[in-house]
Amino acid sequence: MPKPCLTDEELTTALADLDGWTLEEGGKAITAGFKFADFPAAFGFMATCAPTAEKMDHHPEWSNVYNSVDVRLTTHDSGGVTELDIKLARAMNKAAG
């Protein structure tokens, strides 16, 4: 069974605690942009996050251009943002140091 989407209140509370993340227009995903010193640092961040995502069986939509990584998290099965996205976002913030 898909995870339930977070309520507006749950989302507000979760995002208040998630530095750098905002709700996408339409409310179906959360997004963040990460900046690093250079390409190795940016890709190192992705390489740290990748096994976490795989272990959670919850994968980011992300893009990288040189020292920046833009991330979009949504739970496709649920059609919106669930606790899985919040959990992965927290792990990514931790990985970004």
Binding residues for its own copies (CB under 8 A): 39-40, 43, 46-47, 50, 53-54, 59-66
Question: Which residue is listed with tokens 């795989």?
Answer: 54
Minimal distance, residue 19 CB to its own copies, in Å = 23
| Minimum CB distance to its own copies smaller for 17 or for 33 | 33
Minimal distance, residue 34 CB to its own copies, in Å = 14
| Minimum CB distance to its own copies smaller for 12 or for 39 | 39
Minimal distance, residue 94 CB to its own copies, in Å = 19
Query: Which of these, 1, 2, 8, 6, lies nearest to 89 by C-alpha position?
Result: 6
| Minimum CB distance to its own copies smaller for 12 or for 56 | 56
